[in-house]
Amino acid sequence: MSPSQLIPGIVAALVIAAAAFTSELPGHPVAVAQPPVHRFQELPPLPAMHPTVVEPVISPLTATRAPAAAEGPARTDPAPTRAATRGETPAATNNQLGGSVSKARALSNGVAVPPLESPQAVREIIQAGDEIARTPYLWGGGHGKWLDHGYDCSGSVSFVLASAGLLDRSLVAAEFMRWGEPGPGRWVTIYASQTHVFMRVAGIRFDTVARAQTGSRWVNEWTDTSRYVARHPAGL
């Protein structure tokens, strides 16, 4: 190869070497690779979030619903007062069910019909008795709380008297021997002993013993009272 042919190649090599040497000199800028630009960087920013506080709203049904009755100890919770009653019984209804002017009647379905001309307290006693007449016998029932799953003899009598506003706490059988006025009453008589208590209300018997015979505490048939002390509420 002739010298004239080598010169262009030598010149090109020198230019490349000079360029490389110059880029390494101090103060000479070095090209920095730039990161690729992604498309999501061009999107507009998200709007600021402003959470909304929602206040709970009581529905009309919940707002007007009566609170459930609380069940507490018989000596601290309020006695049942007319909540167990259903109001006045029309005279026509009493006649159709066999009720009379002055005597109540126990029906075959276990409830009793008050007499037409009885005092309001007598009606409330009978109507409260209807509420628990077919509940089971439960020893101690009606003493820890007024509304119970079952009632014993004194708990039953205490419940119906309290419903008529005649008693403010439950009593045991022996306590009824000294309660109220002595002797039989015109409308209501309580027969009590040391171990048992029952009532005569407008001529019919309210007695837990009757449950074994009829399934209800109300019964038209009478029983021997010679072993019991008779007491009655004042005025009845």
- The domains of the chain are located at 3-34, 73-232
Residue 140: the pLDDT is 94
Nearest in space to 136 (alpha carbons), one of 195, 226, 217: 217
Report the DSSP beta bridge partners of residue 34: none
Structure tokens at 81: 């007062």
185: its two tokens? 């009453």
pLDDT at 113: 94
**Regions of the chain short of the pLDDT cut 50:** 21, 23, 25, 30-33, 35-41, 43, 46-47, 49-75, 83-98
DSSP string, 29-57: ----PPPPPPGGGGSPPPPPP-PPP----
Q: Which CATH class is domain 73-232?
A: alpha beta
Could you give the residue ranges of the DSSP H alpha helices within the chain? 3-23, 60-64, 91-97, 120-132, 153-163, 211-214
Cα–Cα distance between 51 and 171 in angstroms, integer? 60
Instruction: From residue 28, give the alpha-carbon distance in Å to each of 17, 19, 224.
Output: 16, 11, 129
For residue range 84-131, what is the model confidence (pLDDT) as tens digits?
Answer: 444 444 333 444 444 578 899 999 999 999 999 899 999 999 999 999
